[in-house]
């Protein structure tokens, strides 16, 4: 015998349900129960309505439903035909359309998808069992965060790792061009389930492991492409050096002070990108300092480079607040050793070194231990689950560009190490806010870590 | 194979099944969930266990204001329910291939039966619609024929024809409704009986000393008649409500601390400040050496 299945007549009744209307919450709450008739009546009405609303069946015309089937080996759902949702979810592989388990579950919840398993259509209850950990790497908390964001209307994709393109390339839309090439070229070689999931931190199954290898091949091809395009686009005498530098510093780039640097670079070097700019600028400015013997020099040229350094100095003065210390520490991620050495060099040749400047140097060496702790951390230490995009008409899941938010899901009260979160931000180096979603027994809260710079102190030191 | 008659339970059977016996709780990815709407409401009405709705609401799935099943429970809530014998923790049993084959047959039979019934229902609906629209149809036909046969003098026979047609509505041939218009139910609950087995021994909470403290406090307050929910919103362990949370505001923000733990003065200030700002009382709860739960309430007071 089977239960909870409605007869044809009942289905017909539910066909014209009041879609979209939410039950009333019952108005202003009372202070405490007083055993009055009115309170009892209100409560009864609430229970009745709640029972009715929760018990409503999900009824849909079969023509509006996409049919899918659960693939146990890959932990994915393959679907026969696609629908409107295909703009924002799923991927094609081996001539099949695939959905990730979280996408399939959500589509089932919003009456878009019917999933078959062993020839039987799955109920939501069974699907929750089948699609989630331990059967797949997707945890219930991750799904809840995914569904929460999808219900709000965001486009949510699995975290795709660091973007290969630089801010400048994105600005002139070079990245879209490269991505297109990549899709066309690499499609037959691409691994299953990995086009948007290259850096997933989940434990890989055998199949997924193989796929990852494939995906890493893909990424190599991609960066070569970029280099090629850039060569065409830049036509700069420095280009080769730039590219080499870019590759070297790829892992440890930090965008936090990129903007201010960009503004100061003149047009001739404007084509050079990102950290490369800063490397060069540091180089030139350091040379200037060495040539001259006036301390004024570094103020003009190097000031932008040392903006964060001076901030750090300021912050270490207020060691009471741990978050400020973190801010200082994270700034260190970006080739700090290099800068510091150059800085010291420039000062060695400087007679008019004030006491304040000495203090700067001392402070810089004080925070050295932080620097050490970040060395060698090229990869991402925390698991980032999702990239979140604002919905817009030009969105393309194959080249989604820079996400608007990133989400790291945490199950319990134990926070992820803030230093790790910050180093993840530094590693990704694109100013996308990283949200920490805490899910405690079904309730979701979002937190975000941000760096704040104190510009006023900088001015004091420079003057 | 089951006959069609016993494919669906009667209303009485369903009623009996839903309204008695322990509440069925299923572990999903390690978290306790409730899938039956009546069970979810029974928990609240009868046992003062609130839980959190986490799924999409069928009638309005794309919003976060009012969510639907499954209802997710806190670990403390499940432990309490199991301890009191109000609920049972179930796990899906692996299903044999024979059973699957049988179920596929049942489902197919049900599907064809439902589609046939729906054909009739669609037909009835269309006939009713036609009867309702009859004046318009006649008007339309009249106009059409007069336009086509304006040269001929057959106006008398037109009226007769129309009368005949009016009578024939019920026997008019209707093309069958295509399958894409057939209604399908996307099941929320697992429909198969005998599909689960009890796995209470799998549930191990509380284990750590802090979890034990949390559970002791939860149980004590629950036994005092409060409704308890997670205190995450206000930075506490629980929120204690004097009645159903849908109708009343919470009285207390319950914060569990170890009995002998030193408290930082600034923490106490922030707790007191929070409590006064949200018009709740902060309740510091701990267990003394005898295992008795002790409460200390904080009151924010200023000397003017």
- Would the pLDDT of A193 be above 60? no
For the question of residue B280 being annotated catalytic, the response is: yes
Q: Specify the CATH class of B16-93+196-204 in words.
A: alpha beta
Instruction: Output the pTM of the full model.
Output: 0.70
Q: Which residue has the higher pLDDT, B117 or A225?
A: B117
Question: Which CATH superfamily does the domain covering A63-137 fall into?
Answer: tRNA intron endonuclease, N-terminal domain (3.40.1170.20)
Average pLDDT, chain A: 64
The CATH code belonging to domain A139-169+381-462 is 3.40.1350.150
Q: Which of A6, A129, A132 sits opposite B92 (nearest CB)?
A: A129
H or E element, residue A408: strand A405-410
pLDDT-based confidence at B156, cuts 50/70/90? low
User: How far is Cα A192 from Cα A356, in angstroms, rounded to an integer?
Assistant: 59
On the question of pLDDT at A452 being above 70, the answer is: no
Distance from CA of A54 to the nearest CA of B (A): 6
Confidence label for A179 from pLDDT (cuts 50, 70 and 90): low
The pLDDT value recorded for residue A2 is 66
CA distances (Å), B246 to each of A40, A92, A309, B44, in order? 12, 46, 53, 11
Whether B227 is a known active-site residue: answer no
Among candidates A15, A47, A56 on the partner chain, residue whose Cβ is nearest the Cβ of B58: A56
Question: In the CATH scheme, what architecture does the domain B206-298 have?
Answer: 3-Layer(aba) Sandwich (3.40)
The residue of chain A with its CA nearest to that of B55 is A109
pLDDT of residue A299: 39
The string of pLDDT tens digits covering residues A206-257 is: 434 433 443 333 333 333 333 343 444 444 433 444 444 444 444 333 333 3
First and final CA of chain A: distance in angstroms? 84
Residue B36's Cβ-count burial label (10 Å; 0-12, 13-18, 19+) is: buried
First-residue to last-residue Cα distance in chain B: 82
Spacing of C-alpha A347 from chain mean position: 40
The domain ranges of chain B are 16-93+196-204, 97-181, 206-298
Residues of B in contact with A84 (CB under 8 A): none
| Least confident interval from A215-219, B60-64, B142-146 | A215-219
Paired with B185 in beta bridges are: A59
**Å between A435 CA and nearest CA of chain B:** 17
Report helix, strand or coil for B253: strand
The predicted structure's pLDDT at residue B99: 85
pLDDT at B194 over 80: no
Under the banding of pLDDT at 50, 70 and 90, the label for residue A184 is: very low
Q: In what order do the strands lie in the sheet with A386-389?
A: A155-158, A386-389, A405-410, A434-440, A443-448
B226 pLDDT more than 90: yes
pLDDT at B217: 93
Q: What is the pLDDT of residue B282?
A: 92
Nearest to A26 among B103, B232, B246 (CB): B246
Q: With cut-offs at 50, 70 and 90, classify the pLDDT of residue B33.
A: very high
Rounded mean pLDDT, A95-108: 91
Environment class of residue B87 by beta-carbon count within 10 Å: exposed (0-12), middle (13-18) or buried (19+)? buried
- The answer, yes or no, to whether residue A392 has pLDDT greater than 60, is yes
**d(Cα B54, Cα A24) in Å, to the nearest integer?**
19
Question: Does the pLDDT of residue B127 top 50, yes or no?
Answer: yes
Only one residue has tokens 């870019």, namely A246
Least confident window among A352-366, A403-417, B35-49:
A352-366
Chain B residues within an 8 Å CB radius of A106: 56
CB-based contact, B16 to chain A, within 8 Å: no
Q: Which of A37, A62, A132, A144 to mutate to test the interface with B (most CBs of B within 10 A)?
A: A62
Give the residue among B226, B168, B247, B68 at the shortest CA–CA distance from A108.
B68
Residue A286's pLDDT is 35
Helices (H), A33-93: 37-55
Mean pLDDT taken over chain B: 82
Average pLDDT over residues A178-198: 38
Q: Which of B113, B249, B259, B294 is catalytic?
A: B249
Residue A260 has pLDDT above 90, yes or no: no
Answer whether residue A188 shows pLDDT above 90. no
Q: Does A320 touch chain B (CB under 8 A)?
A: no
B47 as an active site residue: the answer is no
**What is the tens place of the pLDDT at every residue in A269-309?**
333 434 444 444 434 333 333 333 333 333 333 334 444 44
CB B74 within 8 A of CB B49: no
Sequence-separated (6 or more) residues with CB below 8 Å from residue A73: A207
Task: Give alpha helix (H) positions in A159-295.
Answer: 167-171, 174-186, 206-234, 239-248, 258-264, 274-291
**Chain A, window 106-165: residues with a beta carbon less than 8 angstroms from a chain B beta carbon:** 106, 108-111, 114, 118-126, 128-129, 132-134, 139-141, 144, 147-148, 150-153
Are B164 and B141 in contact, with CB atoms under 8 Å apart? no
Query: Chain A partners of B104 at a C-beta cutoff of 8 Å?
Result: 118-120
């Amino acid at each position: 015998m089977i239960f909870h299945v409605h007869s044809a007549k009942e289905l017909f009744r539910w066909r014209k349900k009041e879609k979209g209307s939410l039950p009333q919450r019952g108005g202003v709450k009372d202070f405490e129960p007083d055993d009055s008739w009115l309170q009892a009546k209100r409560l009864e009405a609430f229970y009745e309505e709640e029972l009715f609303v929760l018990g409503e069946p999900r009824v849909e015309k079969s023509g509006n439903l996409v049919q899918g089937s659960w693939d146990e080996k890959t932990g994915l759902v393959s679907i026969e035909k696609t629908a409107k949702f295909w703009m924002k979810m799923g991927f094609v592989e081996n001539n099949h359309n695939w959905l990730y388990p979280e996408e399939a579950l959500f589509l089932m919840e919003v009456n878009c998808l019917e999933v078959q398993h062993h020839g039987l259509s799955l109920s939501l209850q069974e699907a929750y069992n089948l699609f989630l950990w331990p059967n797949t790497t997707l945890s219930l908390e991750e799904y809840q965060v995914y569904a929460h964001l999808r219900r709000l209307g965001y486009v949510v994709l699995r975290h795709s790792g660091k973007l290969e393109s630089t801010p400048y390339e994105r600005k002139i839309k070079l990245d879209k061009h490269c991505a297109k090439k990549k899709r066309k070229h690499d499609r037959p070689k691409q691994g299953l389930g990995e086009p948007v999931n290259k850096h997933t931190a989940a434990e890989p199954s055998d199949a997924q492991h193989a796929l990852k290898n494939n995906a890493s091949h893909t990424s190599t091809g991609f960066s070569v492409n970029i280099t090629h395009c850039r060569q065409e686009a830049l036509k700069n005498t420095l280009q080769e050096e730039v590219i080499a530098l870019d590759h070297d510093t790829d892992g440890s780039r930090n965008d936090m002070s990129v903007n201010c640097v960009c503004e100061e670079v003149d047009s001739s070097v404007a084509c050079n990108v990102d950290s490369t700019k800063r490397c060069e600028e540091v180089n030139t400015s350091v040379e200037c300092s060495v040539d001259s013997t006036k301390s004024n020099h570094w103020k003009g040229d190097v000031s932008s480079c040392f903006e964060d350094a001076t901030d750090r100095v300021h912050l270490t003065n207020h060691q009471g607040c741990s978050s400020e210390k973190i801010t200082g520490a994270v700034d260190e991620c970006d080739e700090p050793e290099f800068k510091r050495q150059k800085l010291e060099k420039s000062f060695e040749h400087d007679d008019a070194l004030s006491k304040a400047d000495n203090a700067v140097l001392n402070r810089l060496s004080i925070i050295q231990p932080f620097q050490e702790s970040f060395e060698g951390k090229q990869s991402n230490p925390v698991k980032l689950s999702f990239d979140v995009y604002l919905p817009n008409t030009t969105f393309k899941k194959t080249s989604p560009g820079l996400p608007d938010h990133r989400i790291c899901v945490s199950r319990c009260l134990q926070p992820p190490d803030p230093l790790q979160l910050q180093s993840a931000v530094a590693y990704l180096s694109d100013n996308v806010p990283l949200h920490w979603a805490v899910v405690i027994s079904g309730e979701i809260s979002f937190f975000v870590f941000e760096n704040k710079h104190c510009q006023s102190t900088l001015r004091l030191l420079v003057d | 194979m089951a006959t069609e008659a016993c494919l669906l339970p009667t209303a009485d059977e369903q009623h009996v099944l839903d309204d008695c016996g322990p509440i069925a709780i299923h572990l999903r990815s390690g978290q306790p969930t409730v899938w039956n709407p009546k069970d979810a409401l029974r928990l609240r009405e009868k046992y003062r266990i609130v839980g959190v709705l986490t799924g999409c609401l069928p009638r309005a799935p794309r919003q976060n204001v009012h969510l639907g099943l499954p209802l997710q429970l806190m670990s403390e809530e499940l432990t309490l329910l199991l301890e009191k014998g109000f609920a049972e923790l179930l796990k899906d049993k692996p299903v044999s291939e024979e059973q699957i084959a049988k179920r596929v047959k049942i489902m197919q039979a049900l599907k064809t039966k439902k589609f046939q019934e729906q054909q009739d229902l669609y037909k009835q609906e269309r006939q009713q619609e036609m009867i309702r629209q009859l004046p318009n149809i006649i008007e339309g036909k009249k106009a059409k024929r007069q336009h086509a046969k304006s040269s001929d003098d057959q106006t008398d026979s037109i009226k007769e024809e129309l009368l005949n047609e009016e009578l024939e509505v019920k026997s008019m041939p209707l093309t069958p409704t295509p399958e894409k218009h057939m209604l399908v139910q996307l099941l929320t609950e697992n429909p198969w009986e005998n599909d689960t087995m009890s796995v209470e021994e799998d549930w191990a909470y509380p284990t750590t000393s802090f979890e034990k403290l949390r559970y002791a406090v939860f149980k004590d307050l629950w036994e005092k008649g409060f409704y308890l929910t997670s205190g995450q919103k206000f930075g506490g362990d629980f929120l204690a409500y004097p009645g159903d949370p849908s109708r009343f505001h919470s009285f207390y923000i319950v914060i569990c601390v170890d009995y002998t733990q030193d408290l930082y003065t600034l923490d106490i200030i922030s707790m007191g400040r929070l409590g006064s700002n949200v018009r709740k009382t902060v309740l510091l709860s701990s267990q003394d050496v005898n295992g008795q739960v002790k409460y200390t309430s904080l009151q924010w007071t200023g000397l003017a």
